[in-house]
Amino acid sequence: MATIRVTKASTVKSIKRQFSEEFNCNIRLYKGNQFADEKTKISELSKTDDAGGELELGARSRVENVERYFKETFGIKAQISNADDTKLADNSMTLTQAGKL
């Protein structure tokens, strides 16, 4: 079981790095309909007062659940994509499957 650390002080770059290292897939975080800049902190993107925390994810965690976590916890749109960030993962896929797309 991997732990992805997401706090208001986390940058987009640090979250993307954690997903890449743990699951060999990418996470896209958005500011509106645009990709969020990698230097942007979650606090700048977030539409909630939640301080964040640790997200426990396993290789079989579903893409849909990860995307929902970011939306419900921070009000941030997130999408999971394959290792080279060229294809979006289907919501029913696991994080491991997304990395193998």
What local confidence, expressed as pLDDT, does residue 50 receive?
64
Mean pLDDT confidence for 35-57: 80
pLDDT band at 79, cuts 50/70/90?
A: very high
What local confidence, expressed as pLDDT, does residue 6 receive?
84
What local confidence, expressed as pLDDT, does residue 53 receive?
64
pLDDT at position 1 over 70 = no
For the range 38-42, what are the long-range contacts, defined as Cβ-Cβ under 8 Å and sequence gap of 24 or more?
A: 38/11, 38/12, 38/13, 39/11, 39/12, 39/13, 40/11, 40/12, 41/8, 41/9, 41/10, 41/11, 41/12, 42/6, 42/7, 42/8, 42/9, 42/10, 42/11, 42/12, 42/15, 42/74, 42/76
pLDDT band at 57, cuts 50/70/90?
A: confident
Bigger pLDDT: 48 vs 66: 66
